[in-house]
Chains A and B, each alone.
Chain A
């Protein structure tokens, strides 16, 4: 059975720190309704001095252009602080949206959180 009609929580967010990296685990749906919550979280983290972010999207069921916009906004913010924003995603349907919009060239996308944490430019 496809997940189309399945109920799910809107959006879940949790953060943890690994060395100088802050991992943001995102779950659920990132769309025009929930994206502001993610934006708030990213802005807060950067304002608190967390400038190296890893956004783990493995539990994201849905992502639209509003969500992409928030991630681009987050990237701009950390770059202004000479920081980084890396994504973790293996889901083809999510990756496809990054490819369609050309954003695979903008974001470093990793296969695992460990890989993203270990990565340097």
Chain B
């Protein structure tokens, strides 16, 4: 079960809130202070990407963020409701523009996070990222 779950309407102004919440929960879970900035950025990128995908596909459903504290790792999942990338409309300028930003965002995530997966779940796309936590005795 997730430690904290967050659902926000797919608007850019809420991405900052998601970043702050994720960083706060990560700190509490014992993620090293030195990677909190990177974690914050990675979560922001994943949420921005989801917001963009919802806009491109005209979806009104919220973006889903789950923050899960396990024994040795802290995992963040950001889920969207967009159809898989293969189904993205081709040849439309808006879609192309979204794709470009999308690629840059994914490049940042993969550059920052060692343990990252981009998968599809039953609702849409899902970015799963994990960071090690300090010894359990710390908390």
Contact = CB atoms under 8 A, between A and B. Distances in A.
Interface of A: 2, 4-5, 29, 31-33, 62, 64-66, 68-69, 93, 97, 100-101
Interface in B26-82: 27, 33, 36-38, 40-41, 44-45, 47-48, 51-52
A31 B16 contact: yes
A93 B35 CA distance: 10
A31 B15 contact: yes
Contacts of A93: 37-38
A33 B100 CA distance: 17
Contacts of B44: 31-32, 62, 64
Contacts of B51: 32
Nearest to A69: B101
Interface of B: 12-13, 15-16, 20, 23-24, 27, 33, 36-38, 40-41, 44-45, 47-48, 51-52, 100-101, 104-105, 107-108, 111-112
B107 A101 contact: yes
Residue of A31, A68, A69 most packed against chain B (CB within 10 A): A31
B101 A4 contact: no
A97 B27 CA distance: 22
Q: Is the interface of B mostly helix, strand, loop or mixed?
A: helix
Contacts of B107: 65, 100-101
A65 B104 contact: yes
Given A2-B37, A5-B20, 10 more contacts: A4-B40, A31-B48, A32-B15, A32-B44, A33-B13, A65-B104, A65-B108, A66-B48, A66-B101, A93-B37
Contact of B41 (A33, A62, A69): A62
A28 to B, nearest CB: 11
B33 to A, nearest CB: 6
Contacts of A68: 104
B16 A33 contact: yes
